Structure 1
Amino acid sequence: MEDISVLSMVLLAGALLATGVVAGIVAGLLGVGGGIVIVPVLYYMFSGLGLDENVLMHVAVGTSLATILATGTSSARAHWKRGSVDMDLLKTWWWAIALGVLGGATLAGNLSGGALTLIFGVVALAVSANMLLRKDGAALAEKLPGSPFKELMGFVIGGISVMMGIGGGTLGVPTLTLFSYPIRKAVGTAAAIGLIIAIPGTLSSIYFGMGAEGRPPFSLGYVNLIGFLLIIPASTYSAPLGAKIAHTIDPSKLKLVFALFLGFTGLRMIYGAIM
């Protein structure tokens, strides 16, 4: 998309602002990370604007990871002040997550856009199924397993999350609660995990995207700077609105709607990747 009209730039800016608003509201409503919303919205938005299929998903993932640098820092700090971040766990888990991020980022940098889209679709479908089928309070065990299984879990969370362009909430929260973590501590710890994912993930997206053809204008590697600058304030200001709405609507119905949306999105992305 080397040649772009003024109208296209206006449409791009408007769509990116709308992406941030939707991501913020959903995050406030359901307590999920914005990345799980930002990536598919950016994917379809850039697709509609005619972005090269070879870089389409890479730019969506890279831009999403960059936004987590800002939103994740604010969220992790707030949870840390409230004492809901398990620092003991992070001290033994961070390196496994970081290794997973480096491995996943390297793999993603060498995968085709279609393969990356397929991965997102499959995991989104799995997350949707977990939200629909898992009963509240259901747990697999009373605590996390010991080494090396705990480290392997961190590695997988880091690797999959960075390939999807998401923070720690989407996979970290259900994993921790599956091992009887209190939901508030799981959410707070996952927010900190998001930073471990986003920092090397963003740098890798910039590195692997340098010189790639077909990127949208004003991109640093696979990170679209316009998206980065517009999504962050929009999501930050709209998140409280989502939280306010959450207190007036049955959360179980919201969860159902989001799970169905995520499942539909996952199926669409799988279909688009294999057809």
Structure 2
Amino acid sequence: MPLIVMCGYPCSGKTRRAHELREYFTKNTERQVHIVGDEDQGIDKNSVYADSQKEKNLRGSLRAEVERKVNRGDIVILDSLNYIKGYRYELFCLIKHTQTPHCLMYCLTSADVSTEWNKGREADSQYTQEILDALIQRFEAPDSRNRWDSPLFTIQQDDSLPFEAICDALFKRKAPPPNQSTQSQPLSSTNFLYELDKVTQDVLMAVLESQKTSVPGDLISIPGATEKIEFTRSLNMVELRKLRRQFISYTKMHPTENIGQIANMFVQYLNKSMH
């Protein structure tokens, strides 16, 4: 199923637009339309988005549900914040694997408008102002220059949806090609060992520097990685060096096929070790 990824601030009209899309496709095509979103998960939004681990679990559940439904036939709409660039990249990798097109629907609003719309919701559906502000601050806007954010449709609150252009993106465009397999780097490869040492050291220094201004719950961007550090507590140099040595030892025994993924792998390793 072609995938439509909704994206935007909390209370920016994503769910309304998702239902407009479903209504259009139901009336004008013979394809089934599935909406996958936070509402289906039975969550307390304020509790989930205040806890980085709960939020990570939610993203994992949504991604798994999309993966179960996506194929080359009908349409899946992912109605969630999808505000993390690295997560949108994961979804892009998913559709590359299943060989189906996708597009991104960015519901663009100001922080003031989102706050106003949030206050207009039923009390049990509202975000607390603290959570709303935090999510807006953490939001990573899509950029059409990134292949995982393209094709990008930016929709403001009074815009009509460009249904014809969306159909072209989903049904007339070729799916992105799958990743080409590459040969494993042998342990004797000087380049592989050099990159392993250099990249892990760069990640280490970036974490140390970012910890100075981070608080638990922050997502720390790491140069060269699409994954982010889910900051839960500070790690001193001794702990970080120990984790780096462990990661290097493991990676030497299990060389990656793609040197460019070393940074992401190390970030994932650190995230697991910090929880």
Shared fold per TM-score greater than 0.5:
no
TM-score by length of 1: 0.31
**Bigger fraction of residues in strand:** 2
TM-score by length of 2: 0.31
When Rg is computed on C-alpha atoms for both structures, the one with the higher figure is 2
